[in-house]
Amino acid sequence: MRIKFLGTAAAEGVPAVFCNCPTCVKARQKGGKNIRTRSQILIDDDTLFDFPMDTYMHMLVHGFDLSAVKRVLISHSHMDHCYPQELCMRGAPFAKNMTEPRIAVYCNATVREMILADTGREIRPEIAATVDIKTLHPYDDLMSDDMRIIALPARHTKGEECLVYYVERGGAGALFLNDTGRLDGEVYARLKAMGAKVHFAALDCTYGNGSGTSGRHMGLVDVVEQLKLIDGAGLLAQDPIVYATHFSHNNDFDFDEMSEKAAAYGILVAYDGCTADVNA
């Protein structure tokens, strides 16, 4: 699999909308890898993990064919992970000569209701008929063409069955843990029992070098702890590729500083546009 980070920020972006805190001022001054848009990941040009309001900009900046995306895996209903209004444009007269005639959206029940409500007033019936919304629950295990998808329980928003995902293609397995606090070891034990193997992992690091005391997000302290649990469950492949991502402007460290901290644990720091080739 080829995995590309299109965006690597939390909801407010870095620099954050309307913000002039020291972190945001520094990000504007330094630019480059310190500029972060809302989190989204592209897998092999045909699969998206999350669908934020920056999706259109990601398509422009990174030059991929959005109409070629066959499936979208959505974690939860917050707008930086689910902005379904764009789906209203996925068909004539707004879009012509599309690469793929249909798109499948995998999500929880809350997101399904959100998509139907937010697109209901404007989406044309003939476009709606090409959007397949598939409701998932934790530990659902399915095949979508040649991609295996396992939904896992996230720890994020009370009252919503938030999800994170494991995907597998060509024998390579990838674990995407955006927008979640620490998961219990039993989650990884169960994933191991399902025959999974993690060659690549992207973990929520909203709080930078700190720890997610809210329980809804993580920092580097938590990422390291989670990797120990993942390894303890026997999930980690030899020499896995591990990234920290989903950074908030409340993290005081810039890209270089964060990279230095993470490198001590063999962890890479994601930035908008970085790519990883993942092999079994």
Residue 53: C-alpha distances to residues 59, 148, 173, 220 (Å): 12, 26, 27, 26
Q: Is the dihedral of CA 240, 196, 151, 187 positive or negative?
A: negative
Cis check: omega of the bond before 15, within 30 degrees of 0:
yes
Q: Name the one residue in this structure whose structure tokens are 């494991």.
A: 166
Over residues 131-138, the mean pLDDT reads 98
User: Are the CB atoms for 203 and 226 separated by under 8 Å?
Assistant: yes
* Average pLDDT rounded to a whole number, residues 144-148: 98
| Per-state percent for the chain, helix, strand, coil, to nearest 5 | 25, 30, 45
Closest CA to 1 of 153, 136, 165, 183: 165
Angle between helical axes of 220-232 and 185-193 (0-180°, round to 10): 40
- Which pLDDT belongs to residue 18? 96
Percentage, residues of the chain above pLDDT 70: 99
Task: Return the ∠ at Cα 8 (arms to 162 and 192), rounded to 5°.
Answer: 50
Tell me: pLDDT of 212 over 90. no
Rounded alpha-carbon distances, angstroms, from residue 108 to 105, 140, 146, 159: 10, 11, 22, 12
Residue 210 has pLDDT above 90, yes or no: no
> What would you measure as the largest C-alpha separation in the chain, in angstroms?
53
Task: Tell me the pairing of strands 163-169 and 172-177.
Answer: antiparallel
pLDDT at 157: 87
- Note the pLDDT tens digit of each residue in 158-195: 899 999 999 999 999 999 998 999 999 999 999 999 99
Displacement of CA 31 from its chain's centroid (Å):
23
The residue among 156 and 106 whose pLDDT is bigger is 106
Cβ pair 68, 59 in contact under 8 A? no
pLDDT at residue number 120: 95
Mean pLDDT of 32-39: 98
Supply the DSSP symbol for 247: B
CB-CB contact of 230 with 240 (8 Å): no
How high is the mean pLDDT of the chain? 96
pLDDT digits (tens, 9 = 90+) for 214-260: 678 999 999 999 999 999 999 999 999 999 999 999 988 999 999 99
* 228 CB neighbour count, 10 Å cutoff: 12
What's the confidence (pLDDT) of residue 216?
A: 86
Asked whether the predicted pLDDT for residue 151 surpasses 80, the reply is yes
- Where do the domains of the chain lie, and which CATH numbers do they carry? 2-277 (3.60.15.10)
